[in-house]
Structure 1
């Protein structure tokens, strides 16, 4: 268990062991989540990544992407289509 003191400005210093466990460093952001009457502090970047992963869940399968090369090919195709659209408008 770690202990931190709140300053008169409402600030705390997160103990080093907690920062290590959260994977946060100077300048990083943390998020406070209320869950079942408790407040949980999380690494904001990791929560954002987790949310993005959940949002994209199943998309690779839906698009038929099975390998890294499939992803590379899809990106090339989309870039080609965008390039063609832009240049078709400039004719």
Structure 2
């Protein structure tokens, strides 16, 4: 268990061991989440990443991407479309 003191401005210093466990460093942001009457502190970047992963869950299957090569082929196709669009305007 770690202890932190609140300053008169409502600030705390997160103990080094807790920062290490959260994977945060100077300038990073943390998020406070209320869950079952408790306040949980989390690495804001990791929460954003988890939310993005959840939002994209199932999208690869939905668009028919089953293997890494499918992704490579899709990227090549998009690049080809962009190239053709740019060059079509330059005629």
> TM-score when scaled to structure 1?
0.88
Counterpart in the other structure of 2:76:
76
CA distance in 2, matches of 1:90, 1:34: 56
Distance 2:74 2:37 in 1: 45
Partner of 1:8: 8
Work out the CA distance in 2 between the residues paired with 1:60 and 1:13.
42
The aligned residue for residue 35 of structure 2 is 35
Cα distance in structure 2, aligned partners of 1:39 and 1:82: 48
Q: 1: distance between equivalents of 2:89 and 2:34?
A: 50
Map of 1:90 onto structure 2: 90
Specify every segment of 5 or more residues in structure 2 that has no aligned partner in the other structure, as ranges: none
Q: Deviations over 1:17-68 (max 9, x none)?
A: 1111111111111111122222211101100110110111011111221222
Taking structure 1 as reference, are residues 76 and 6 closer, same or farther at Cα in structure 2, changes over 3 Å only? same
Q: Does 1:47 align with 2:47?
A: yes
CA distance, structure 2, for counterparts of residue 79 and residue 36 of structure 1: 48
State the superposition RMSD in angstroms: 1.3
